[in-house]
Amino acid sequence: MKDNQKGAAPNHVEDDMTLTNRQGHPITNNQNLRTIGNRGPATLENYDFIEKLSHFDRERVPERVVHARGAGAHGYFETYGTVGDEPVSKYTRAKLFQEKGKQTPVFVRFSTVIHGGHSPETLRDPRGFAVKFYTEDGNWDLVGNNIKIFFIRDAIKFPDMIHAFKPDPITNIQDSERFFDFCASSPESFHMVTFIYSPWGIPANYRQMQGSGVNTYKWINSEGEAVLVKYHWEPKQGIKNLTQKEAEEIQAKSFNHATQDLYDAIEKGDYPEWELFVQIMSDEEHPELDFDPLDDTKLWPNDQFPWLPVGKLVLNKNPDDYFTEVEQSAFGTGVLVDGLDFSDDKMLQGRTFSYSDTQRHRIGANYLQLPINAPKKRVATNQSGGMMQYKVDRAPGQNPHINYEPSILGGLQEAEQLATEHKPHVEGNLVRESIDRNDNTKQAGETYRAFEDWEKDELISNLVNDLSKCDPRIQDKMIALAEEADEEYGRRLREGLENANTSGSSMHPLGNKGGENAPRAAEEKGHESEPY
């Protein structure tokens, strides 16, 4: 459009592609500061420059403490209407599962865990697999990892675990001795260590990795009856993992390979798919099992609790803007819809507070008003205020003076509950104790024996490489756990450490071979230059 001031000559030409500032003012010179003479100095009233630079200074929100490095995509979940051969309504009244062929929009974020937003995607690390379902009853977040278990079973240990796995607070370098110091002192972690130090610790990409809800949840039917459930995502593209050597070769070429792989596949129409399976168990303590169903360090054996298909996930659209959609996407384990519920899983209870709390800190109190996080249905609350609020969640016809409930003056009202509420019976003393069935090595031995020979070789090689640089007391504890898990596992680890080269440093990414020599190599290989 042209300047429309009557009788005045236009002072600029503007159309839909014209650059403006945030006030909507057209920018006529985006190349030069306003200065006294063309050499400067600059003047303080450079509004366009100050707006541009001050926004640039604030372009990054605080990184996620964990899962900072991520990639995401849009798609849909299509339900089968059944769980195995049975109607899904037998177990859950959640609407998104009921009708065969029903599609629910989703946004999925994949991630690495420990390192920062631009860290290599080849590092030995769990991978996050978080799915936001925009259901007709509001959002459901299924937040999990690629590995189906976890390092710990009690949420109070989570900050210490992450501190140990993060870079050293003095050197700012990840240190395998710190990692194994925590793990050797927390023997419940040994099953997860067995997975992470095997090729399963480095998925080839995001498309060809599994996902898991990790925690134990509940499904609730219309009668208020509950069952325990575990969620599993299985890639229809197949599963591929990398050895340490292969990962290092890829990292030498690209540290964004998994993000690029996901983006490229969707752009060319090769939409990745996963099938969602659940395992179901009655809502009891199950004393007949040698593990507690609520223990996140344990797998539910699929010969006793078979995987039952319930639907499929398809990713068919890349984000239009990375920051707006991927970086600002926010997930929480407490985000459930009717028909889904929490179990007493102690890790789940802790995550349910932590996940949403960290998003309020990271993006602000109104992070749920951002389009990527907002449900695709009506929202009406009595919450208002806080940084970056851009609307009030007011219902049509709501008395704007009434921001509380209950009220007889035209305020919001409670929804009527039609289905029977789930009312679990809770009884016991308030204690600070570990769960009773806490065998830390049995399933690790089963996992080791299930590995193929090349996976066993890679596991032992990676463990020996890192443990050989650790304090002998840490080595002894890890050997003892391996021996307890499986005779061959323990023997191979012991023999490997007895014959290992102990020189070098533990200050390198997990599993990395020779990384401590990189500073000297850079100096030796560097080409001398004269100053200019």
List active site positions: 67, 145
d(CA 532, CA 405): 72
Q: Residue 327 carries which DSSP code?
A: I
Task: Give CA–CA dist 247/182, Å, rounded.
Answer: 25
Helices (H), 37-185: 47-57, 158-165, 176-185
Distance CA 266, CA 319 (A): 10
DSSP 35: B
Residue type (1 letter), 158: F
Half-sphere exposure of 25 (CA within 13 A, CB side): 11
d(CA 419, CA 45): 63
- In 3D space, the residue among 221, 277, 225 whose CA is nearest the CA of residue 92 turns out to be 221
Burial of 370: CB neighbours in 10 Å, binned 0-12, 13-18, 19+: middle
User: What burial letters (b/e) apply to 155-193, b meaning 16+ CB within 10 Å?
Assistant: bebbeebeebbbbeeeeeebbbbbbbbbbbebbbbbbbb
> 248: which 2 tokens?
């290092």
Phi, psi of 311, rounded to the nearest 5 degrees: 170, 180
Cα–Cα distance, 368 to 375 (Å, whole number): 8
Dihedral sign of CA atoms 230, 236, 238, 240 in order? negative
Q: Does residue 463 sit in helix, strand or coil?
A: helix
Written as one letter, the residue type at 369 is: Q
Please tell me what DSSP assigns to residue 228: E
Question: From CA 397, how far away is CA 389, in angstroms rounded?
Answer: 21
Identity at 14, one-letter amino acid code: E
Q: Which H or E run contains 443?
A: helix 442-450
E-assigned strand segments in 431-489: none
- How far, in Å, CA of 139 to CA of 524, rounded? 55
Dist. CA 460–CA 193, nearest whole Å: 11
Label the pairing between strands 211-212 and 217-220. unpaired
Q: How far apart are the C-alpha atoms of 330 and 310, rounded to whole Å?
A: 25
